[in-house]
Structure 1
Amino acid sequence: MKIVLATWNKSKQKWLKEGLRSLPFPILTLEHDQYKHISDVEETGDTCEANALLKARTIPNDGQSIIIGEDSGLFIQALGHFPGVKTARWMDGTDDDRAAKILKDMTDISERDAYFQSALAAIFPDGDSIVVEAKLPGKIARKSRGDQDTGYSQIFELAHGQTIAEMEPEAFERNDHRRMAIAKLKTSIEEKMHEHTNEY
């Protein structure tokens, strides 16, 4: 039995490995020879949950793997939950460019509630699947602040008033949306393992 991470994104591979490393299975990435032929999947889902499941399903189910897909996004209430599932690709350029455009577009908007969402999907050897999600509420700041990170982290203000980029990474990551989602996923995998002890 093994875990396969259905992403080419190095940073996602890193935090998924960290969050799942206590499970008693080897964790493989798409760099493994068996999966090198698999390309990035086009994210056509309307939700993060749908895209996470879509990514997990790009890996052939060999009956010996737990396949994990992930998707995340920034949802801004006043913009109709835009950019949402298109957070990383709604305009050309970098996340810094996209964050700057959001600030410009929201110059005269007073309602600034927003949230980050992370969704994780797991497909089990028997074909069963689960999807979990977690959200991090906050607001869109009036200007970019902080030098601990770039892009959206500089414009996303948490409840205590700091942007993500103003916080030390270790302090933020302990309770971020991705860690919350992966904790839920790990619990679900452990429950599945308990139900099928003789199989897994």
Structure 2
Amino acid sequence: MKLNFVTTNEGKYREVRGIAEEYGIEVSWLNYRYDEFQGESLEEVALKSAKYLANRIEPMFVIEDSGLFVEALKGFPGVYSSYVFKTIGNEGILKLMEGVENRKAKFVAVVVFYDGSEFHIFKGEVEGRIAEEIRGTHGFGFDPIFEYQGKTFAEMGEEKNKVSHRRKAFQSFFEWLTKNF
């Protein structure tokens, strides 16, 4: 089976391509830029994006939206993660967390698959904490400040791809896809 993954983020594409190969699915990168929608939840944002794309590209595509949710910041940056990363970055989140004891956080990923007639939604999450400093050189986005079992995602390298929120969402999707298509 062949499937288009719509993203402008090459790092996400490489991660998803690796997961897809485990299921015998070929994923092509469709580097298609579109305005990011806003909403109350990642599911709402991803579904709005998929519906927009359904009128512009061929069916049998998948998109993914993800966010960092920090408990002490009442879920911020959440659905605004991409914008927050572009504006204040990892340094800004660490600044907001100065002196905060509760550093619990989670990464959440939502995958939407459009088969030409229906939209299917899958979700994955991983719990961790916000590190006290930027650590590691691998990964992208908030990976250098998201700590999972003592290491930041940026310190984990390929090991991250075995436990990430994105992996969990795409595993659910690929398991479903292999049974239904």
Place the TM-score, normalised by the shorter chain, in its bin. Answer: 0.7 to 0.9
> Which ranges of structure 2 fall in alignment gaps of 5 or more residues?
none
**1:148 counterpart = 2:138:** yes
State the aligned residue count.
180
> Which ranges of structure 1 fall in alignment gaps of 5 or more residues?
32-37, 194-200
State the match for 2:75 in structure 1: 81
Give the letter aligned to residue 133 of structure 1. K
Question: How many angstroms apart in 1 are the aligned matches of 2:141 and 2:30?
Answer: 26
Given the alignment, which residue of 37, 44, 60 partners 1:66? 60
Question: How many angstroms apart in 2 are the aligned matches of 1:140 and 1:5?
Answer: 29
State the match for 1:196 in structure 2: none
Aligned ranges 1:1-200 → 2 under 5 Å: 2-21=2-21, 27-30=27-30, 39-60=33-54, 65-90=59-84, 92-93=86-87, 97-125=88-116, 127-149=117-139, 151-158=141-148, 160-167=149-156, 169-193=157-181
Give the letter aligned to residue 116 of structure 1. F
Question: How many angstroms apart in 2 are the aligned matches of 1:72 and 1:41?
Answer: 15
Cα displacement (A) at 1:184 = 0.4
Q: Deviations over 1:122-180 (max 9, x none)?
A: 1113x12211111110011222223334652222111x22222222x122211211111
Question: How many angstroms apart in 1 are the aligned matches of 2:86 and 2:137?
Answer: 23
Q: 1:92 to 1:152 in 2, by over 3 A?
A: closer
Question: How many angstroms apart in 2 are the aligned matches of 1:75 and 1:174?
Answer: 20
Question: How many angstroms apart in 1 are the aligned matches of 2:109 and 2:40?
Answer: 14
Q: Deviations over 1:63-91 (max 9, x none)?
A: x7322111001000110100011112126
Question: How many angstroms apart in 1 are the aligned matches of 2:139 and 2:3?
Answer: 30
2:66 and 2:79 in contact (8 A); partners too? yes
Question: How many angstroms apart in 2 are the aligned matches of 1:41 and 1:24?
Answer: 32
Q: Deviations over 1:78-109 (max 9, x none)?
A: 1010001111212654xxx5211111111121
TM-score (norm: length of structure 2): 0.84
1:134 and 1:181 in contact (8 A); partners too? yes
Give the letter aligned to residue 65 of structure 1. P
Secondary structure of the structure 2 residue equivalent to 1:99: helix
The more displaced of 100-109 and 132-141 is 100-109
Question: What percentage of residue pairs aligned between the two structures are identical?
Answer: 28
1:6 and 1:55 in contact (8 A); partners too? no
Cα displacement (A) at 1:21 = 3.9
